[in-house]
Structure 1
Amino acid sequence: MKQRWTSGNKITLLENGEQFFPRVFEVIAAARQEVVLETFILYEDKVGKALHSALLAAAANGARVDVTVDAFGSPDLSDEYIASLTSAGVKIHVFDPAPKLFRRINYFRRMHRKIVVVDGVRAFVGGINYSADHLGDFGPEAKQDYAIEIEGPIVGQIRKFAYDAIVEGNPDRRWYQRRPKSFADAVPKSPPVTGTADAMFVWRDNHHHRRDIERHYRVAIRLARRRVIIANAYFFPGYAFLRELRKAARRGVEVTLILQGNPDMRIVQIAAAMLYHHLLRAGVRIYEYCDRPLHGKVALVDDEWATVGSSNLDPLSLTLNLEANVMIRDRTFNRQLADNLQNLMQNSCKRIEAADLQESSALRQVRSFFLFPLLRRFPAWAGWLPAHAPKLTPLRAAQIRNGADRLDEKAWS
């Protein structure tokens, strides 16, 4: 499937779980034909239970329901949770499962996408997982994040991609066999034109689309004339990406980064801070979001281009994990996202100045001597890691009885 710009879409920004969860659960529960959902994290907390109820409602309506979760991100779903879904006809697929002993170290090449498509006419894409830490009442560790609701022709492409991923992950398929038809092929959809936004669904895989998300970022930055704003949770891109940011700032573009100031993982802030002096010296503005952990993966350029999705700007997302973003050309959406990010900068961020960086010039020179060769080469080095073709294993309740790690690949359905 080609990645291409498609016109006639309506894109709605959803901020945090307070806006995202009620809307996506309402749409899922009202499904009449199909629901296909992918997520990295699904926890059996109040959010996971609300999703559970919505999926059961869709199945009761007669909809085909397919749910894919990542084995690393969603390791602890109970027998009861799975059994009640599968008994209702929900198909649950686990991405790249591993024995329990190795599950928490099998960290590379994960399925990090967050996608929902309902009845072929409405989709959701973003960075929000199904867990209570995306709600403000979770406390100081609640995440700041974004997703979008999509209506229009681009939904058909997202739908086909999601169903094709299930077919490609079929454990019974051999390399020499033709690709079987997916449900998306059997039941074609033609979502109507509903808005004025141009949109492109862009994904990252370990085959033919390894650098696509990064490439679209870099092209947009290269073409920027007035402003670039990037809000990204895990920021440690390669040298070529940093070079585009610096070049844009030096030609007069207002380049702004919003990064973690209250990190969920301390190493994330440490890694990003290693780049601060290099970027500030070129005129890039850096803000740290301090209210709570930033988990968003959004950006905008000038007055039209924007992106929302699952991809961070770090080695895992840019070179290893499976990711999905939507690129958007729409002035109304760009303005809405810009207003949101400006509000973050004004009310919840600390601007970083060169004087705030407490390190000696000698230390900075030594660090740069090692750091920037690494940044130049890590995409190639990451590519040396095993690029296996992870399988989707369908779950049935009987296969996870009493916490046993028994995943029978013959149970594909």
Structure 2
Amino acid sequence: MGAQAAHTLTPALSRGERESLVLLDGGAEAYPRMLEAIASATRRVHLEVYAFEREGVGTHFVSALTAAAHRGVEVKVIVDGWGSIGESRALADTLRAAGIKVRIHNPLTSILLGRIWRNHRKILLVDDAVAFLGGINIGDHYAAQEGQPGWADLALELRGELCARLGARLNAGASTLVEGPVRILLSGFGGGRRLRARYLAALAHAEQRVVLAHAYFLPNRSFVGALKRAARRGVEVHLLLAGRSDVPFARAATLRLYRTLLRAGVHIHEWTATTLHAKAAVVDGQRLLVGSFNLDPLSLVNLETLVEVDDAAVAAQATQWVERHLGQARPVRLEDLAPSGLRRWLLEVVGLAVARFSERLASFIGSRRMRRRD
């Protein structure tokens, strides 16, 4: 399973022995703690991920889940049919043979029936006492392999009363759970605007500095306007974006926004050391937003999670992660962008086409979902 990350982010919020919040740097830090939690489970394990690879680190999770089921723990696993394409059927067969409840959310064949909305959550909940939420799936990409760092991502480990409330709301659709400085939002299908609204509120109230680290950055005009307004009123706005992407053409849709953002005073940095998969923001060194929610049209209609923590200690840990990645990222300047002419025109055309396709696909998914509910 890859070596541990060299940078540890574990000191964080602590509210006594039974309540704490730990920020984890990628799979290298998250996987061992997740596996340890499953190994100590006595009553219930709920694992919900978009992608679950059976090989590599996935074998450790299959073994841990199987062992838990064999000692009488109620184990349930939900994977997305598209995110785990090519893996879900064999994975389900293996887990079911161990007595584990498995649900494949909208397998590939469901597309023929028009059910193309996705479950994009990443949640591990153990005994309603410890929860892991963030952007990390189960796969070798997220942890160091043969000396190469894993994908850049974050997860939160939460312990305390809020976990029990999360367990009661997993199947209840859109939910907002608040305990002290921690807020968990579960979007429900078509409810992603509530999650985006938390980002917009954070931007509107920012006074000094905002850093957004987002893998798939396709915001709408109102969000771009919020970034520009923040920068123009003196807030230092930094975007840590993917210099390379695992999704074809996604970067073209993002690149078309660079010129207008840079001219408004927004700082842009591209992460190229590995694939950036994080979905996070740090505001004024006080507030952290992190989860599975991307700032793109499809996250508005998928099942998503967002955790908001208003605590300086946790935000300091996130700032440490952000500053390290900003320091290793490539700054983007106006003079670096494609000059006028055919190349720039092609970039604008491709980027606009990808953005419009994403918006129309999200609108189509939303309308299909509403018709099925009616």
Compute the TM-score of the two structures, normalised by the length of structure 2.
Answer: 0.84
Q: Is the 8 A contact 1:238 1:378 kept in 2?
A: no
Alpha-carbon distance in structure 1 between the residues aligned to 2:224 and 2:341: 21
Choose which of 136, 140, 144 in structure 1 pairs with 2:152. Answer: 144
Alpha-carbon distance in structure 2 between the residues aligned to 1:390 and 1:17: 39
CA pair 246-79 structure 1, distance change in 2 beyond 3 A: closer
Q: Is the 8 A contact 1:132 1:138 kept in 2?
A: no
Question: How many Å apart are 1:289 and its aligned residue?
Answer: 0.6
Paired position in structure 1 for 2:254: 272
Secondary structure in structure 2 of the residue aligned to 1:89: coil
Q: For residues 237-284 of structure 1, what are the alpha-carbon distances to aligned partners after superposition, in whole Å with 9 as ceiling and x for unaligned?
A: 001111111000000100000001132235122211110110011100
CA pair 80-216 structure 1, distance change in 2 beyond 3 A: closer
Q: For residues 212-236 of structure 1, what are the alpha-carbon distances to aligned partners after superposition, in whole Å with 9 as ceiling and x for unaligned?
A: 1100000000000011000000111
CA pair 31-225 structure 1, distance change in 2 beyond 3 A: same
Alpha-carbon distance in structure 1 between the residues aligned to 2:204 and 2:265: 16
CA pair 89-375 structure 1, distance change in 2 beyond 3 A: closer
Q: Is the 8 A contact 1:262 1:291 kept in 2?
A: no
Q: For residues 183-229 of structure 1, what are the alpha-carbon distances to aligned partners after superposition, in whole Å with 9 as ceiling and x for unaligned?
A: xxxxxxxxxx9xxx61111122335x341110000000000001100
Q: For residues 17-38 of structure 1, what are the alpha-carbon distances to aligned partners after superposition, in whole Å with 9 as ceiling and x for unaligned?
A: 1111111011012100101111
Structure of greater relative contact order (alpha carbons < 8 Å, 6+ residues apart): 1
Question: How many Å apart are 1:380 and its aligned residue?
Answer: 7.9
Matches within 5 A, 1:49-68: 49-68=59-78
Alpha-carbon distance in structure 2 between the residues aligned to 1:370 and 1:243: 22
Q: Is the 8 A contact 1:127 1:295 kept in 2?
A: yes
Alpha-carbon distance in structure 2 between the residues aligned to 1:212 and 1:292: 30
Give the unaligned 5+ runs of structure 2. 1-13
RMSD of the TM alignment (CA)? Answer: 3.4
Secondary structure in structure 1 of the residue aligned to 2:285: coil
Specify the code of the residue in structure 1 equivalent to 2:255.
A
CA pair 291-381 structure 1, distance change in 2 beyond 3 A: closer
Matched, 1:96 2:106: yes
Q: For residues 162-192 of structure 1, what are the alpha-carbon distances to aligned partners after superposition, in whole Å with 9 as ceiling and x for unaligned?
A: 2446xx9xxxxxxxxxxxxxxxxxxxxxxxx
Paired position in structure 1 for 2:337: 357
Specify the code of the residue in structure 1 equivalent to 2:189.
N
Question: How many Å apart are 1:152 and its aligned residue?
Answer: 2.0
Paired position in structure 2 for 1:204: 187
Specify the code of the residue in structure 1 equivalent to 2:101.
K
Alpha-carbon distance in structure 1 between the residues aligned to 2:371 and 2:70: 31
Specify the code of the residue in structure 2 equivalent to 1:296.
A
Aligned length: 352
Specify the code of the residue in structure 1 equivalent to 2:48.
E
Q: Is the 8 A contact 2:250 2:354 kept in 1?
A: no
Alpha-carbon distance in structure 1 between the residues aligned to 2:206 and 2:93: 51
Specify the code of the residue in structure 1 equivalent to 2:307.
V
Secondary structure in structure 2 of the residue aligned to 1:220: helix
Moved more, 261-270 or 379-388: 379-388
Paired position in structure 1 for 2:79: 69
Choose which of 178, 196, 212 in structure 2 pairs with 1:230. Answer: 212
Paired position in structure 2 for 1:300: 282
Matches within 5 A, 1:19-30: 19-30=29-40
Compute the TM-score of the two structures, normalised by the length of structure 1.
Answer: 0.76
Higher Cα Rg, which structure? 1
Q: Is the 8 A contact 2:152 2:276 kept in 1?
A: yes
Secondary structure in structure 1 of the residue aligned to 2:28: helix
CA pair 79-322 structure 1, distance change in 2 beyond 3 A: closer
CA pair 76-141 structure 1, distance change in 2 beyond 3 A: farther
Specify the code of the residue in structure 2 equivalent to 1:114.
K
CA pair 384-142 structure 1, distance change in 2 beyond 3 A: same
Question: How many Å apart are 1:308 and its aligned residue?
Answer: 1.1
Q: For residues 304-331 of structure 1, what are the alpha-carbon distances to aligned partners after superposition, in whole Å with 9 as ceiling and x for unaligned?
A: 11111011111211x2221111111110
Paired position in structure 1 for 2:20: 10
Question: How many Å apart are 1:350 and its aligned residue?
Answer: 0.6
Specify the code of the residue in structure 2 equivalent to 1:52.
V
CA pair 341-107 structure 1, distance change in 2 beyond 3 A: farther
Choose which of 261, 264, 268 in structure 2 pairs with 1:286. Answer: 268
Choose which of 281, 292, 297 in structure 2 pairs with 1:310. Answer: 292
Specify the code of the residue in structure 2 equivalent to 1:113.
R
Specify the code of the residue in structure 2 equivalent to 1:123.
A
Paired position in structure 1 for 2:120: 112
Alpha-carbon distance in structure 2 between the residues aligned to 1:369 and 1:289: 24
Paired position in structure 1 for 2:321: 340
Specify the code of the residue in structure 2 equivalent to 1:199.
V
Question: How many Å apart are 1:111 and its aligned residue?
Answer: 0.6
Secondary structure in structure 2 of the residue aligned to 1:130: coil
